[in-house]
Structure 1
Amino acid sequence: MPAGAAALTGVLALAAALAMGHLVAAFVGIGASPYLAVGNSAIDLTPAPVKDWAIETFGSYDKVALLGGMAVVMVLAAVVAGLVSRRSALPGTLVIAVFGVVGGVAVYTRPALGQLALLAPLAGLLAGLAVFRWLHALALRGVSAIGEHEIAPPGADTRVQPADTANRRRFLVGASGVALGAGVAGLGGQLLGQAKNAEGSRQAIGTLRVADPAPPVPDGADFRRLGTPAFLTPNKDFYRVDTALVVPQVRAEDWSLRVHGMVDRELRLDYADLRSRPLVERTITLCCVSNEVGGPYISTANFIGVELADVLAEAGVRPGAEQLFSTSVDGWTCGTPVEAALDRDRGALLAIGMNSEPLPLEHGFPVRMVVPGLYGYVSATKWLTDIEITTWDARRAYWLDRGWAREAPVKTQSRIDAPEAFEKVPSGRVTVAGIAWAQTTGIAKVEVSIDDGPWRPTELSTAVNEDTWRMWRIDVDLRPGQHKVVCRATDRSGYTQTDRRQPTVPDGATGRHTVLFEVT
């Protein structure tokens, strides 16, 4: 079989397998799509330093990069499977079988998928094998004549016979049909999956009635016209860092939460139960532990929900309990210190709303946890479905086994937003502005140093509460040329952020943000 036909056979068999698996997954759970299940397993198995590199390099597109990289690897493997099968279908059959087993194992080991989900990788495997062997047979019959003519001895009749032309046409028609069928199946799976998503359920919720609204954000809470973010981050701009390749789809009417473990009474709550309770609104800044010094993974919103401490009091937390071991519907787990969850001054929530509307799907709809003052990986479980009250020794959360710290309070930090790095600004008075945060403590002051000069105090924005960021600004006169600005924050406890650089692992980055820019 010529190399081109062999490679095409392998690639089309791969396309058929993935498309059929994706189509069946639309009925048994989109997470059962072999492509997505393998991707999720790859995320779980990737070493923490590689994950950090991916987040730093690709930002919110890290999952797109992973899926794209997987696609390239799989296509190359399919090409190789075809090329080693130019004389016999057996090598390619074995490669496809290995792919099918890998997909099946990935689906079977996903914690949020049942046994029925194995139908998706099984359907993909059967489709891939069937297409590969069918096209392989067509290719051998239809294009082997070309190879024979190329190696025919001198004087032999190398004219293409009508039967050869018909066989080649059958192969091309078959290949085109497979490509079209794979496209239709893949698109059908995607459309069916979207038709079953939770957005309709979210839209039907309507207005959330809040019994205890957050105080209005005062004038002067930000310096957005000078380059800082708006005080409240719009939902579409709120940072997102999680391990989910596909946003979990859970309708509010299907959702429930189990609270169990070291409690006096086990609770089972549904969405209607939460919504019927007095809802409170809290203005809270969330920060990701993957945020490098000066990084973008910090945002602020008005979260609406039920006081977590009330739910825990209803369950009755027993003495000796140390952590809330919470689980997402996709199987991700988180360990939150019990004392933080019970601290009413901290105001932890089972949140169902964000900025006056139900939680967006990508931010945890129907329900997520929000615990101010802790990095998200130990406090902010999205798509929440289970809370077990237990000890640190009894259960280990997702990131603990990957080198991150058990307890992770958000560190006092500051960031320069204007001027941007390497920006050219007009000479004269230059406005330097940014943000600072020290959750549960509050920001007392922010200072800047220009070109390694003395520290200068900045003007702070109007404070909102101790759980939110605070903006700062200063005007300085600068001559044309290259300049450097460094910022540092001091919280209300008197602690000034350190200049010692520490990476994000194991409990958050430290250091002082520095920006180089040019005055023209």
Structure 2
Amino acid sequence: MGTRVETCLRAGVAGLVSVLAGVAVGELVTLPISGDASPYQAVAAFLVDHAPAFAREFAIDTFGTADKTALMIGVGAVLVVLAIVAGLLQAWRPHWGLAIVALFAAFGVVAAVTRPTMEPAFVIPPLVAGLVSGVALVVLCRGAAPRVSEGKNGGWSRRQFIGAVGVLTAVAALSAVVARQAGRAGDIMAERLRLKLPTPTSTAAPVPAGVDVDVDGVTSFLSDNATFYRIDTALQVPRLSTADWRLRIHGMVDREITLTWDDLIAVPAIERIITLTCVSNEVGGDLAGNARWLGMPMKDILTQVGIRTDADMLLSTSVDGWTSGTSLADITDGRDALLAVGMNGEALPLEHGYPVRQVVPGLYGFVSACKWVVDWEITRFDRARAYWTDRGWGVRAPIKTASRIDRPAPLSRQPAGRVVVAGTAWAQHRGISTVEVRVDDGPWQPADLAPQYSIDTWRQWVFGWDARPGQHTLYCRATDAAGRTQPEQRVAPIPDGATGWHSRVFLVEG
């Protein structure tokens, strides 16, 4: 191998290992400070908050619930490329590579100090990461030039260089493992498991027989916590204990108050089964779930502050700074809008908002379902804008009437004869009155509806069809209790929810 080529290889490896070691040590330094001080997470969150709307929409459309994973992988890939470039520059143009490391550390500091949960100590991890990366880069790159002969020492021997890289790699790996293991939300998880939830003064009505059609392939009436969809902007799940939780209520009110956990659970709790839907859900998508929620009526809490008559919006803020804007009319009109503390008989999972989140029937989550909520500002829509509204999405966003085919599976093969078609429909806080199915270009035919549990939950349906051989396309459409039928025209989810008929293509074998 030529000397120049080997030098380049060594320099690239030096840059990569140095920066990765610095990042790993920076993550390790967050342990005595806060899990929210992670420089890697801060940089990724900064990119999310400042990315143009089209980029965020592309990520959601392309990766769905894996958008956070895709972002973290993307940030990591960019970091790797910059690290290798820094090594090459440092070997051939001393101090240029160091400048890249310094710029990246400065970016980490800026990202850290602009986080909503920022504390002065948050600047320490990115500074430490930059210092470790810079020192390691200088040392390794000085030894990157291979020895020309025993008499001319242009750098370290191959064995010395590999040894130094190995030691630094071990430091990076050990730091990363310790940071990951120790940084887990162990204390919060333990608290959650011990937490005694309040007894509801009003329990959810029992689910009658037949509400869940129990047809193979159809979504269950109730969604379990492990599979309930999750869509939010939190790259790192907030870790907030009940002791630390506070809800400040202020703005256009007669009395500003701050609730503690004890204050909250002193409010009589109720239990309700409610279906939630994400605005990002495509026609036929699975970003909807139905759970048994335990919580305190939001309207009962709002009565404590005295809302001024000209206020029309509740601006809710999560502990990580995300905001949603909810119409006060939709909270106080008698629907079961909750400050939820329980989900399916247990405390909220961390990723679903522990210890407290909002659940508002009939509204898409981006205008109502604030997780880890810590602040309520009573205001007006013409004075304040929430996170997604400020990025061009809808303002009030009631959930649109929708239906989907759960079975048969797409592109499946079915035997000729009786085929069971089944699915789910929803129009939260209005209810579903009819579901119809069309085969190819034939007439619309009514499906058999399962009993409706409530207007705030989805409803299952079944349709029997005598199938003839050939390729067929099934369509479904629903009509809500207000008489509105979902339109045929496909409309993208952004800015205020998708519309269109869901369809499935499959083959009937003779």
TM-score range normalised by the length of the shorter chain: over 0.9
Q: Please state how far the C-alpha of 1:139 moved relative to its aligned partner.
A: 2.4
Correspondence list, 1:87-126, <5 A: 87-126=92-131
Correspondence list, 1:58-97, <5 A: 58-97=63-102
Q: Which residue of 1 aligns with 2:386?
A: 397
8 Å CA contact 2:281, 2:498 repeated in 1: yes
In structure 1, how many angstroms separate the alpha carbons of the residues matched to 2:206 and 2:397?
Answer: 30
SS of residue paired to 1:408 = coil
8 Å CA contact 1:414, 1:435 repeated in 2: yes
Q: Please state how far the C-alpha of 1:195 moved relative to its aligned partner.
A: 5.2
In structure 1, how many angstroms separate the alpha carbons of the residues matched to 2:456 and 2:370?
Answer: 18
TM-score, normalised with respect to structure 2 = 0.96
Residue 169 (1) aligns with residue 174 (2): no
8 Å CA contact 1:197, 1:250 repeated in 2: no
Residue 53 (1) aligns with residue 58 (2): yes
Q: Which residue of 2 aligns with 1:154?
A: none
Residue 419 (1) aligns with residue 405 (2): no
In structure 2, how many angstroms separate the alpha carbons of the residues matched to 1:414 and 1:389?
Answer: 35
8 Å CA contact 2:144, 2:155 repeated in 1: no
| Distance change in 2, residues 1:195/1:62 (3 Å) | closer
Identical-pair percentage = 44
Q: Which residue of 1 aligns with 2:372?
A: 383
In structure 2, how many angstroms separate the alpha carbons of the residues matched to 1:40 and 1:170?
Answer: 39
Q: Please state how far the C-alpha of 1:401 moved relative to its aligned partner.
A: 1.6
Q: How many aligned positions are there?
A: 504
Q: Which residue of 2 aligns with 1:127?
A: 132
Q: Please state how far the C-alpha of 1:314 moved relative to its aligned partner.
A: 1.1
| Distance change in 2, residues 1:42/1:328 (3 Å) | same
Q: Which residue of 2 aligns with 1:256?
A: 246
Residue 467 (1) aligns with residue 456 (2): yes
Which of 191, 216, 222 is the equivalent residue of 1:201? 191
Q: Please state how far the C-alpha of 1:414 moved relative to its aligned partner.
A: 0.6
Q: Please state how far the C-alpha of 1:326 moved relative to its aligned partner.
A: 0.5
In structure 2, how many angstroms separate the alpha carbons of the residues matched to 1:479 and 1:160?
Answer: 84
Q: Please state how far the C-alpha of 1:165 moved relative to its aligned partner.
A: 9.6
Q: Over residues 25-78 of structure 1, what are the superposed CA-to-partner deviations in whole Å (9 max), with x where a residue is unaligned?
A: 222222321211111112112233332332232222111111111111111111
Residue 430 (1) aligns with residue 430 (2): no
Q: Over residues 375-401 of structure 1, what are the superposed CA-to-partner deviations in whole Å (9 max), with x where a residue is unaligned?
A: 000000000000010112322110012
8 Å CA contact 1:443, 1:470 repeated in 2: yes
8 Å CA contact 2:419, 2:467 repeated in 1: yes
SS of residue paired to 2:102 = helix
SS of residue paired to 1:490 = strand
Q: Please state how far the C-alpha of 1:161 moved relative to its aligned partner.
A: 5.7
Which of 15, 19, 27 is the equivalent residue of 2:24? 19
SS of residue paired to 2:117 = coil
Which of 413, 431, 438 is the equivalent residue of 1:449? 438
Residue 31 (1) aligns with residue 75 (2): no
Q: Which residue of 2 aligns with 1:324?
A: 314
In structure 2, how many angstroms separate the alpha carbons of the residues matched to 1:478 and 1:515?
Answer: 14
> What amino acid is the match of 1:407?
R
> What amino acid is the match of 1:200?
A
Which is further off, 325-334 or 389-398? 389-398
8 Å CA contact 1:26, 1:190 repeated in 2: no
> What amino acid is the match of 1:429?
R
| Distance change in 2, residues 1:166/1:502 (3 Å) | closer
> What amino acid is the match of 1:471?
Q
8 Å CA contact 2:91, 2:142 repeated in 1: no
8 Å CA contact 1:222, 1:228 repeated in 2: no
In structure 2, how many angstroms separate the alpha carbons of the residues matched to 1:39 and 1:221?
Answer: 43
8 Å CA contact 1:248, 1:329 repeated in 2: yes
In structure 2, how many angstroms separate the alpha carbons of the residues matched to 1:242 and 1:479?
Answer: 44
Q: Which residue of 2 aligns with 1:360?
A: 349
| Distance change in 2, residues 1:277/1:409 (3 Å) | same
Q: Which residue of 1 aligns with 2:281?
A: 291
Choose between structure 1 and 2: higher helix proportion.
1
In structure 1, how many angstroms separate the alpha carbons of the residues matched to 2:37 and 2:439?
Answer: 54
> What amino acid is the match of 1:279?
A
| Distance change in 2, residues 1:193/1:509 (3 Å) | same
Q: Please state how far the C-alpha of 1:164 moved relative to its aligned partner.
A: 7.8
In structure 2, how many angstroms separate the alpha carbons of the residues matched to 1:274 and 1:418?
Answer: 43
Unaligned runs of 5+ in 1: 150-158
Which of 284, 295, 301 is the equivalent residue of 1:305? 295
Q: Please state how far the C-alpha of 1:348 moved relative to its aligned partner.
A: 0.5
Q: Please state how far the C-alpha of 1:468 moved relative to its aligned partner.
A: 0.5
Q: What root-mean-square deviation, in Å, do the aligned CA atoms of Structure 1 and Structure 2 show?
A: 1.6
Q: Please state how far the C-alpha of 1:84 moved relative to its aligned partner.
A: 2.1
> What amino acid is the match of 2:75?
M
In structure 2, how many angstroms separate the alpha carbons of the residues matched to 1:217 and 1:315?
Answer: 36
| Distance change in 2, residues 1:101/1:166 (3 Å) | closer
SS of residue paired to 2:104 = helix
